[in-house]
Amino acid sequence: MLPTPPQPDLLIVIVNYRTPAMTIDCLHALLPELQSMPENARVVVVDNGSADGSADAIHRAIIDHHWQPTCELLPLDHNLGFAGGNNRGIACYPDARYVLLLNSDTLMHPGTLRHCLDLMHARTDIGALACRLLSADGSPQTMARRFPTPLRHTLVALGLPWWLPRWFAHFDPEYISTDHHHHPREVDWLGGAFLLLRGEALQAVGQLDEDFFFYGEDIELCHRLHRHHYTRYYDPRVTITHFGGASADENHHHAPRQNPAYWHARYLVQRKCFGRLAAAWLRILDLLSLSLRLIVMRARGLARSQRYQRDAAAWRLLRKPLST
């Protein structure tokens, strides 16, 4: 029987799917940050069944740069999605004190990880924490939002956040206040590109839900943390760079509304977090909203526009059964 490997204070899981160059760049930026930290850290790179030579390239980089004491590669036979890939990495060291889920298309900035760990040490109520994410051009990305409750979806479908923004703007799940990118705060949910989790919280609520393949798993996980009274905290005082969409296929990244995975996750979040009636209600709202937009665009002579074609494809998709 093989000896159980020592559990690290910090486990960092990076899931690679056909982005070996970006993953290696991510490691180049990350690993120097670990050298001066007192915590025992371990990086697990999960190759999610890339079948394109990614695993071999990453393995060679680990050997060539002498990263073996800190970093290891876990190749999978097939693509298990974001949740499944991260769960296999977490399972390598299930008792780690902290777990960082880090996208392969990110670059760690100096001092960011140290700051986030210090905050987790100081605030034992925090179950999940995220920093500010910057695009390649330096513009901030929105990775912390409100839960997409049935009420919020209904008010958005009625257009109230736009018709009466003074009273209803904050009901929009996508609404971000003007100081969002400047002041730390407790939030509902955090995106999974940089998600620092407390190990005991993860053990209490369970790992990522593998019913989600892509999209939505971060919302559902944060909702479980919410039900167990763990704080989700967003701290924009420190940053990383997130290029975005690298591990998604072209349809996922550029036209998510035409992809079944987007809608599947949208309604699965509702069912998992708010119940089956919420999922059914949201689908009705989406069909009504799409139908109205198509009618208006036809009346304006925009039936050949790209937006019309996109919404028509989504409308046709929603008329078919979608398993949730």
Consecutive sets of 10 residues in the chain, 324 residues long: mean pLDDT of each? 73 97 98 89 97 97 96 97 97 97 98 97 98 94 90 81 64 60 89 97 97 93 98 97 66 54 93 97 93 93 92 90 68
Q: Which two three-digit tokens encode residue 125?
A: 């109520």
Q: What is the pLDDT of residue 21?
A: 97
Q: What angle do CA 49, 54, 56 make, to 5 degrees?
A: 110
pTM for the structure as a whole:
0.91
Cβ burial of 232 (10 Å; 0-12, 13-18, 19+) is: buried
Pick the CATH number of 10-142+180-248 from 3.90.550.10, 3.90.850.10, 3.40.50.300, 3.30.70.1560: 3.90.550.10
Place of tokens 């079944």: 260
Residue 266 vs residues 141, 217, 219, 291, 314: alpha-carbon distances, Å: 20, 10, 10, 18, 13
* Strand spans (E) along the chain: 10-16, 41-47, 71-75, 98-102, 106-108, 126-134, 140-141, 144-145, 185-187, 189-190, 194-198, 231-242
**Dist CA 283 CA 274 (whole Å):** 14
Portions of the chain given CATH number 3.90.550.10: 10-142+180-248
Q: 273 near 188, Cβ under 8 Å?
A: no
Confidence at residue 249, expressed as pLDDT on a 0 to 100 scale: 40
**Which pLDDT does position 4 carry in this prediction?**
58
For residue 153, what are the contacts with CB-CB under 8 A and spacing of at least 6? 173, 281, 282, 285
Name the nearest CA neighbour of 247 among 15, 17, 83, 26. 17
Share in percent of the chain as helix, strand, coil (round to 5): 45, 20, 35
Q: So what's the pLDDT on residue 174?
A: 66
